[in-house]
A = this chain, B = another copy of it.
């Protein structure tokens, strides 16, 4: 399939600069573009490539002012990253072959209820009394335990596991190897200092449009629910402890860990390899830098970083001071 630069610009409500007739048939990074490719420029670090790229077209910001000649056609839009993302989504949608049906080599309990147009691949497992919404896609080797509920349109990738009694919203994506509802790390030392398991009787509840990265783990609540709000995005290898609550539209990058019973607000942005102690509260809209250690509640939204955690400006000064220390 080929599209003219003009056609693409229309989809993106952008303006063409240069040849609008050139045909595009693939996406490429700006530094790897070939004739026929469309690329984008969002991060200023990559600007030098726009003067040398062989891509036939580049999506750029309305504000972008070239420093020298550009061979490619330009499509000017408000937000190049969002535009290319919409374009890729539309392309992906076109290519998608919708899979429907139940593979005969899957294991599905007689008491499970499956909605319409569900796809269940080989070696997937659905346990007793689970309820699977319409158009759900369950990959090979995925495991759905007992009494699980999965909302319509959700994708469970190969090898992801949803343990007993958990509830997954609509249009969620669980990437490969995810574990939802493992038993949390709860042990009470007895009189002899030997640790006794604390039963974990609660579950995990994911809102709609949640995305959970590969091999990320979310523990079930001791009592009640571990709650992941609508629109939350967790990266790979993240750990969410029992009874944690994460507010809507918060994003958390890879290898961050949140200890038990901590509550993170809405619209927070948490970078990678951050650690949160248990039983604290983080205000809505908080931003936390990579590798930070969060040992106390944060009441004022803002940007913080470091270990000790400091307001961002103070943290940056500290980093400079430490770099200069003799």
Residue of B28, B182, B235 near A175 (CB, 8 A) is B182
Q: A105-B107, A141-B141, A194-B231 are in contact. Are A201 and B277 (CB under 8 A)?
A: no
Whether the Cβ atoms of B188 and A182 lie closer than 8 Å is no
Query: Closest approach, in angstroms, between the C-beta of A58 and any C-beta of chain B?
Result: 13
Whether the Cβ atoms of B177 and A179 lie closer than 8 Å is yes
Separation of A39 and B35 alpha carbons in the complex (Å) = 60
Whether the Cβ atoms of A182 and B255 lie closer than 8 Å is no
Whether the Cβ atoms of A217 and B177 lie closer than 8 Å is yes
Decide if A193 is an interface residue (CB 8 Å cutoff).
yes
Task: Give the total of A residues in contact with B, Cβ under 8 Å.
Answer: 100
Decide if A265 is an interface residue (CB 8 Å cutoff).
no
Q: What's the number of copies of this chain in the assembled complex?
A: 3
- Chain A's interface: helix, strand, loop or mixed, by majority? loop
A308 neighbours in B (Cβ, 8 Å): 319, 322-323
A321 neighbours in B (Cβ, 8 Å): 325
Minimal Cβ-Cβ distance residue in B for A88: B199
Whether the Cβ atoms of B254 and A239 lie closer than 8 Å is yes
A19 neighbours in B (Cβ, 8 Å): none
Separation of A79 and B34 alpha carbons in the complex (Å) = 49
A122 neighbours in B (Cβ, 8 Å): 107, 125
Whether the Cβ atoms of B196 and A85 lie closer than 8 Å is yes
A81 neighbours in B (Cβ, 8 Å): 188, 198
Decide if A207 is an interface residue (CB 8 Å cutoff).
no
Decide if A215 is an interface residue (CB 8 Å cutoff).
yes
Q: Would you mind naming 15 contact pairs between A and B with Cβ atoms under 8 Å apart?
A: A27-B223, A29-B224, A88-B201, A157-B163, A173-B183, A187-B211, A194-B249, A195-B249, A235-B239, A236-B239, A239-B272, A259-B272, A291-B293, A317-B325, A321-B325
Separation of A81 and B186 alpha carbons in the complex (Å) = 10
A173 neighbours in B (Cβ, 8 Å): 183, 197
- Bitwise, A1-39 to B at CB < 8 A (1) or not (0) is 000000000000000000000000001110010000001
Separation of A279 and B41 alpha carbons in the complex (Å) = 13
Decide if A241 is an interface residue (CB 8 Å cutoff).
yes
Decide if A133 is an interface residue (CB 8 Å cutoff).
no
Whether the Cβ atoms of B89 and A197 lie closer than 8 Å is yes
- Bitwise, A153-178 to B at CB < 8 A (1) or not (0) is 00001110101000000000101110
Interface residues of A in 254-287 (CB under 8 A from B): 254-255, 257, 259, 267, 272-273, 275, 277, 279
Minimal Cβ-Cβ distance residue in B for A92: B199
Separation of A273 and B29 alpha carbons in the complex (Å) = 29
A86 neighbours in B (Cβ, 8 Å): 196
Whether the Cβ atoms of B290 and A233 lie closer than 8 Å is no
